[in-house]
Chains A and B, each alone.
Chain A
Amino acid sequence: DAGVTQSPTHLIKTRGQHVTLRCSPISGHKSVSWYQQVLGQGPQFIFQYYEKEERGRGNFPDRFSARQFPNYSSELNVNALLLGDSALYLCASSIRGGMGTGELFFGEGSRLTVL
Chain B
Amino acid sequence: EDKVVQSPLSLVVHEGDTVTLNCSYEVTNFRSLLWYKQEKKAPTFLFMLTSSGIEKKSGRLSSILDKKELFSILNITATQTGDSAIYLCAVLLWRGGGSQGNLIFGKGTKLSVKP
A positions within 8 Å CB-CB of B:
3-4, 31, 33, 35, 40-45, 48, 50, 55-56, 58, 88, 90, 97-99, 102-109
Chain B: minimal CB distance from A76 (Å): 15
A58 touches B41 (CB 8 A): no
Q: Which of B61-69, B75-83, B94-102 contacts A (4 or more CB under 8 A)?
A: B94-102
* 1/0 contact string of B18-51 vs chain A (CB within 8 Å): 0000000000000010101000111111001000
- Please, which residues of chain A bring their CB within 8 A of the CB of B74? none
Chain A: minimal CB distance from B88 (Å): 6
- Please, which residues of chain B bring their CB within 8 A of the CB of A56? 95, 99-102
Number of chain B residues whose Cβ lies closer than 8 Å to a Cβ of chain A: 26
A102 touches B34 (CB 8 A): yes
A-B contact pairs, 6 of them (CB 8 A): A33-B103, A43-B103, A45-B102, A55-B95, A56-B99, A108-B40
- Please, which residues of chain B bring their CB within 8 A of the CB of A3? 42
Not counting A42-B90, A44-B105, A106-B36, a sample of 15 additional A-B residue pairs whose C-beta atoms are within 8 angstroms of each other reads A35-B105, A40-B107, A42-B4, A42-B107, A43-B88, A50-B100, A55-B95, A55-B99, A88-B41, A90-B42, A97-B100, A98-B101, A102-B32, A102-B48, A109-B41
